[in-house]
Amino acid sequence: MKKLALILLGLSLSIGASAAVWMWTDADGLVHYSDYPAVQDAVLIDIESRPTDRAAIAEQRRETIALERERQKGDRLRREADAKEGAEQKEDRDLAKANCEKAREIYATYYDAPRLYKPTADGGREYLSGPEMDALRAKAQGNIDEWCG
């Protein structure tokens, strides 16, 4: 029984004990730390230690992981939005290019034609006058300016 009491006393004393740390600077200016004073002018450093709060560390880790997941989600959403915007911009550029080509074709047709007409309700043709042809060509040129930049 005495043995058990001594063992328990020794364990209880070691729980609160902390190791001594000594610090000194050598002739070259290097700072040294040790668990024993290696030189006469070594200084004992008071180091506080306390038990690790595992629950607090686990909670902090959970919070860090949650924040990282939120950051990654935000990054993913930004990349998806950028990709979608990029696709929409490409679609707009392709549409503008196609409209530009069509406007150029129409203008070339109007410019090269000696006479222009518009169809009538009965399937016939009504030929345009000089000023009407000029107005139609100007409108075609405006479409080129609009779509081709």
Which residues, other chains included, contact 70 with Cβ-Cβ below 8 Å and sequence gap of 6+?
none
Q: Taking the model in full, what pTM does it have?
A: 0.43
Residues in the chain, total: 149
Sheet holding 21-25, edge to edge: 31-34, 21-25, 43-45
Q: Considering the domain boundaries, does residue 8 fall inside one?
A: no
Q: Which domain holds residue 21?
A: 15-50
Q: Considering the domain boundaries, does residue 20 fall inside one?
A: yes
Domains identified in the chain, total number: 1
Give the C-alpha separation, 19 to 47, whole Å: 8
Give the C-alpha separation, 122 to 92, whole Å: 39
Positions of the chain with pLDDT under 70 = 1-18
* pLDDT for res 14: 47
Q: Considering the domain boundaries, does residue 26 fall inside one?
A: yes
